[in-house]
Amino acid sequence: MAGESERSLDHPRTLEGGFLLPVQVGRRSGLCLSLFRFAAGNPERHSFMYRLHHPRRPVSTRIPSGFTLIELLVVIAIIALLAAILFPVFASAREKAREVTCVSNLRQIGTAVRMYVQDYDETFPIFHAYNTAASGAAPGTPGHKGVEDELMPYTKNKGIFRCPDDSGGPSLAVDAPGAESYHEAYGSSYRFTSKCYTVVLGPDGSFSNNYPLDPAGGAEAQTITDASFQFPAETRLMRDEMFPWFGPAKDAVNKFGYGPYTGYPNGFYGPWHGNGGGVVYADGHAKFCASEGQFRKIYGSPDGRSFDSTPQCWYGCD
């Protein structure tokens, strides 16, 4: 029997629960047999035997940490750098889009003027400018006096007379308190060149600043037709009210007249487009003018006078 027991332990035995226990034979088989008996028939003790033959590695108790302060600072620095690079690009793209919209508005207005001229025997519209609700009719309402109102049958859209960068100016606090744009105050963001439109004198004629043009103040009646223009493709009919070189930062001597004036202690200038302004010409085309030198050479009267010409065309001409 003893020999049989020793022979039976020469090979691994499969215990209950599927545990495979190798045991030794010979004089030292007593210890192994004891361990065998300890594990046999007791699945809960199998783990003990497994640990005996397979010591477990130490398990780290260190809790994983998040970002370090230096890593966070690096990420913040990268984001700030990208913002500094991209924000000016986005701002420039938005401003360029507004410039394109402005020129599109002026091109449509120029087309409307050409349609008016064809319908009225090649005669240009009657001049009006800067008339607020105090004239008796608010902008955009029946009875208001403005070139934009004369062109409405052709444009069918009041919105094209508003420059997307029209943020008003300090004179609105005097002329139209509460108004936030030239378009809201006067009906148009664009200044109509007085010498390029027909002027009618009298109480039912041309109005400017809520009053009829006065011959005592130098106003003269005029009829402007297509034949009046010597250089129609180079003579402006209207322009953005504001150009960047009208401001005190670029016009310290107030040669353009947008600085302080009697009754307007803060002057007239307000920043609109940062690079220039839109201009529409007598032949109906429009473009964006981005140079003061170029602007000064644009003709402002049918006979070909400009800001730089002698005699000049600006005060009482533009």
Q: Looking up tokens 């997307």, which residue turns up?
A: 164
Q: Is the confidence at residue 110, as pLDDT, over 50?
A: yes
Q: Is the confidence at residue 45, as pLDDT, over 60?
A: no
| 8 Å CB contact between 97 and 104 | no
Across the range 138-165, mean pLDDT stands at 95
Q: Is the confidence at residue 31, as pLDDT, over 80?
A: no
- In which band, very low, low, confident or very high, does the pLDDT at 20 lie, cut at 50, 70 and 90? very low
Mind spelling out the 3-state secondary structure of the chain? CHHHHHHHCCCCEECCCCCEECCCCCCCHHHHHHHHHHHCCCHHHHHHHHHHHCCCCCCCCCCCCCCCHHHHHHHHHHHHHHHHHHHHHHHHHHHHHHHHHHHHHHHHHHHHHHHHHHHCCCECCECCECCCHHHCCCCCCCCCCCHHHHHHHHHCCHHHHCCCCCCCCCCHHHHCCCCCCHHHHHCCCEEECHHHCEECCCCCCCEECCEECCHHHCCCCECCEHHHCCCHHHEEEEEECCCHHHCCCCCCCCCCCCCCECCECCCCCCCCCCCCEEEEECCCCEEEECCHHHHHHCECCCCCCCCCCCCCCCCCCC
From the CB of residue 13, how many other CB atoms can be counted at a distance below 10 Å? Answer: 14
Across the range 222-251, mean pLDDT stands at 97
User: Tens of pLDDT along 261-314?
Assistant: 999 999 999 999 999 999 999 999 999 999 999 999 999 999 999 999 999 999
Instruction: Write down the pLDDT at residue 217.
Output: 83
**What mean pLDDT, rounded, does the chain reach?**
85
Distances (CA, A) of 34 to 28, 47, 119: 10, 16, 121
Instruction: Write down the pLDDT at residue 193.
Output: 95
The sign of the CA dihedral 156, 161, 167, 171 is negative
Top-confidence residue, 287 or 83:
287
| 8 Å CB contact between 191 and 183 | no
Identify which of 146, 148, 147 has the alpha carbon closest to the alpha carbon of residue 157. Answer: 148
